[in-house]
Structure 1
Amino acid sequence: MKTFIALFIFLITLSSCKAQDIKKTPYSLFNGKDLTGWHVDVPEMDSNPQTKNPFIVRDQMLVSLGDPRGHLITDSIYQDYKLEVEYRFSGAPGNCGVLVHASTPRALYNMFPKSIEVQMEHNNAGDFWCIVEDIEVPNMEERRGPRKDWGATEGKERRIKNLTDDSENPLGQWNTMVIECLADTIKVWVNGELVNKGFNATAKKGHIALQAEGAEVEFKKIEITPL
């Protein structure tokens, strides 16, 4: 009987370990063929049904054409994860971003969903932008400006500068951005270098979004690993 009980406990433990391994297996948010699992929010498309969707699939890559401005948003909500994105500006340098913990659509300037943006703009990759959500970092006044100007809505100081310079690869080359969201902390690496770390985020879960913000950006990998 003791042997049976020990074997039973061993099998239960083994099963639990396998379940944990499966849970933490990375998987792609982009199938390489279409935008299944995502939806588009582009304000210009409201008034003009003929407006071109700025998010397309080309050569098995997800591409943000940059214009018209808007967002590509996951259908699902995510919490406690590591997101790995491989991207490059395929033409002129410009602006784009990954939004985490996204919720209420068009909460800022009738365009940006309530979220925390991890900046991808050329030469500023890894900045945080607070979009009706907020986050703290060390040396806050040095990196965000005077305390009296802080905020997460229109007219407030919403940008929190990243920690490094020269983390991005030259234009035309691929960059790897890793965003780790765990409880109320967010960490960001660009090409293996830690470029930002925030804590006391006002949101802990939400959708993930990609921007169309004026520049063409190619994405060849968008992979998430539960934590």
Structure 2
Amino acid sequence: MNKILLLSVVLLGSFPFTSSFQSPAQSTENLAEKAKPRSLFNGKDLTGWHMDVPETDNDPTARNPFIIRNGLLVSLGTPGGHLITNDSYENYRLEIEYRFAGKPGNCGALVHVSTPRALYGMFPQSIEVQMMHGNAGDFWCIQEDIAVPDMDKRRGPKEKWGVNGDKLRRIPNLTDGSEKPLGEWNGMTIECVGKEVKVWVNNELVNHGFDATVQQGQIALQAEGAEVEFRKVLLTPISKLED
């Protein structure tokens, strides 16, 4: 009797590091989309997400910092906390459109989220992609780490690098002036493939990290002082074609 051997090979890998400024579309021209884009926000409620807001531990009447307003997902900024997806993801492109609703300030999108409140009793273990006005695209290492070119220049003295406490956790982005004027919508694209994370702000590559200590996890948005509106949170799974 003839034997039939069926081999199923799924390649979910990282793509080679490049420092060239490519658009998200150019970056993934050798990648196959195995699933259709999926909106993580339905425009009506917070289905698919849960909140972690430490202030509500002792005060159940504390304000909910994440609301739906006029079809937009809004982070009111206070009290501080995180809106976290129920599901975990690996190898994907995340497209976010956001703007500061009033005064500019701080916010962030966190990828590869795992243990909640792993830093300062507030921030979950993750790699944060900064949205703070004027610093969009910075990496912040939160109990996870990632490398970039010119680490000594961009991160500071190596002996002070770290992922918690008073260590140098910030890795500044590559550009200035990528953000649009206040009141206008910014587009941020984050690609997480294997151990690499690439970030574009308004189609300009602003950061590219590699050798991350984590490759999968949940996604989170912050409430960190400033009111921010989100009109798009779109995720597209990515898998790498065999060369």
Q: How does 1:125-140 map to 2 (within 5 A)?
A: 125-140=136-151
Inter-partner Cα distance in structure 2 for 1:205 and 1:154: 23
Inter-partner Cα distance in structure 1 for 2:33 and 2:181: 37
What is residue 176 of structure 1 aligned with on the other side?
A: 187
Q: How does 1:82-97 map to 2 (within 5 A)?
A: 82-97=93-108
**Which of 130, 139, 147 pairs up with 2:158?**
147
- Structure 2 residue 35 is the aligned partner of structure 1 residue 24: yes
What is residue 107 of structure 1 aligned with on the other side?
A: 118
Q: Which runs of 5 or more structure 2 residues have no equivalent in the other structure?
A: 1-30, 239-243
Inter-partner Cα distance in structure 1 for 2:130 and 2:203: 16
SS at match of 2:153: helix
Deviations 1:130-180 (A, max 9, x none): 000000000001110000100001110000000000000000000000000
Q: Which runs of 5 or more structure 1 residues have no equivalent in the other structure?
A: 1-19
How far 1:23 moved relative to its partner?
Answer: 3.3
**Which of 194, 204, 220 pairs up with 1:209?**
220
Give runs of ≥4 in structure 1 deviating > 2 Å.
Answer: 20-24
Which protein has the larger Cα radius of gyration, Structure 1 or Structure 2?
1
What is residue 48 of structure 2 aligned with on the other side?
A: 37
Q: How many residues align?
A: 208
What is residue 59 of structure 1 aligned with on the other side?
A: 70
SS at match of 2:94: strand
Inter-partner Cα distance in structure 2 for 1:46 and 1:220: 29
Question: What one-letter code is carried by the residue in structure 1 that aligns with 2:64?
Answer: N
Inter-partner Cα distance in structure 1 for 2:221 and 2:197: 17
Deviations 1:100-145 (A, max 9, x none): 0000000000000000000000000000000000000000011100
What is residue 14 of structure 2 aligned with on the other side?
A: none
How far 1:201 moved relative to its partner?
Answer: 0.3
